[in-house]
Amino acid sequence: MGKDGGMKPVILDVDTGLDDACALLLAAQHPDLDLKAVTCVGGNVGLDEVVVNTLTVLEAAGREDVPVARGAALPLLQPVRSAPHVHGVDGLGDIDWPKSTRTPVGAHAVEVLRDNLREAARTGELITLIPLAPMTNIALLLRTYPEAAAGLREIVFMGGAAGIGNATASAEFNIWTDPEAAAIVLSTAGRLGVGVTMYGLDVFYDVPITLDQARSLGGSPSADLARRLIEKRSELYKADAASIGDGGAVCAVIDPSGLTTEPYPLHVELSGSWSRGRTIVDTRDWSGDLTSDPYGPPPPVVQVATAVDGPRYTNLWLNTVQ
């Protein structure tokens, strides 16, 4: 809930593929969330496809009122690396869902973020920012308009891993795509005192929807699209169930008690032939004598998700999208 028990204001930053779509359907329709805007960044697919997919999902959810803004097409320092093998060529699994013909707002994503956060700081209705993509837009915002962080309640991002990666053995896709952006966001949030939660690969796969559950959905564009998304993800992974992926991070904002987290210092590896983009979760006991560490005191502490109540979040998602 937000201030005085009302709806919690949120903004999603997305590179809309199949799992971002699961997250958008939830955020757009849950009665406890006030979806202020959605900002788009290149990632799972190119920026043009991300924008169309985002508008398409919001249209299916009956939320044409939500502003959608184009953001960064490329990471800060490296080429964009899309994932058609995971999300299909169009990002929505090539399920032939009718594409939206709406257009995004004229302002850039960074301007939309800035304006919403400045208003939130003025009114006291602080915003939870939910990045579900490479954090290029967020890094540009915090570098260009750091004062806008006064409007942030917290950042809950899908990305990283305490264990193994998926883009590489070390790195999770969102962080690996733009590690410099992730490092900027985490360090700036720490310096400005903004709380950060990492919903990473350690819990990403633990909120599954079975094909039987998905096939029980229907009767509205939202429910029909939700069913198609899970069917396609199951097909791509050759399984009889599929995780809602990024949708779990939105569940964690709606129902934080379903997520177990531990506070750990967090580094983002920016070099290394095999480890670039790795989120290094420092689980050492810093109350002891670690003065021999050449890197000095720990970096900003992040709440790292270590376990999730999967059935609880599964039911939350199913009940909302239906």
Q: What is the pLDDT along the chain (322 residues), one digit of tens a residue?
A: 454 457 999 999 999 999 999 999 999 999 999 999 999 999 999 999 999 999 999 999 999 999 999 999 999 999 888 777 777 777 788 888 999 999 999 999 999 999 999 999 999 999 999 999 999 999 999 999 999 999 999 999 999 999 999 999 999 999 999 999 999 999 999 999 999 999 999 999 999 999 999 999 999 999 999 999 999 999 988 999 999 999 999 999 999 999 999 999 999 999 988 999 999 999 888 776 666 777 776 778 999 999 999 999 999 999 999 8
Q: In this predicted structure, what is the pLDDT of residue 252?
A: 98
> CB–CB of 33/107 below 8 Å?
no
Cβ(239)–Cβ(149) under 8 Å?
A: no
- Four-CA torsion 236, 242, 243, 247, nearest 10 degrees: 80
pLDDT score at 285: 80
- Per-residue pLDDT, 14: 98
- Inter-residue contact 14 to 134 (CB < 8 Å): no
> Residue 244 and residue 203: Cα distance in Å, rounded?
11
Q: How many residues does the chain have?
A: 322
CA angle in degrees (0–180, nearest 5) for 264-265-271: 130
Residue 102 CA: distances (Å) to CA of 47, 64, 170, 282: 15, 9, 39, 45
The SS3 call for residue 146 is helix
Residue 90 CB neighbour total at 10 angstroms:
18
Q: Which residues pair with 145 in a beta bridge?
A: none
- pTM here is 0.95
Q: Under a CB-based contact definition with an 8 Å cutoff, are residues 45 and 69 in contact?
A: no
Phi and psi for 212 in degrees, rounded to 5?
Answer: -65, -40
Q: What is the pLDDT of residue 300?
A: 85
What sign does the CA torsion over 254, 95, 159, 203 have?
Answer: positive
What is the Cα–Cα distance from 230 to 144, expressed in whole angstroms? 38
Domains of the chain, with CATH numbers? 3-321 (3.90.245.10)
How far is CA 169 from each of CA 166, 172, 174, 222, 278, rounded to the nearest angstrom? 6, 8, 14, 35, 9
d(Cα 283, Cα 306) in Å, to the nearest integer? 12
* Phi-psi domain of 76 (left: phi exceeds 0; alpha: psi -120 through 50; beta: other): alpha
CB atoms within 10 A of CB 150: 14
**Cβ atoms within 10 Å of 29's Cβ, excluding its own:** 17
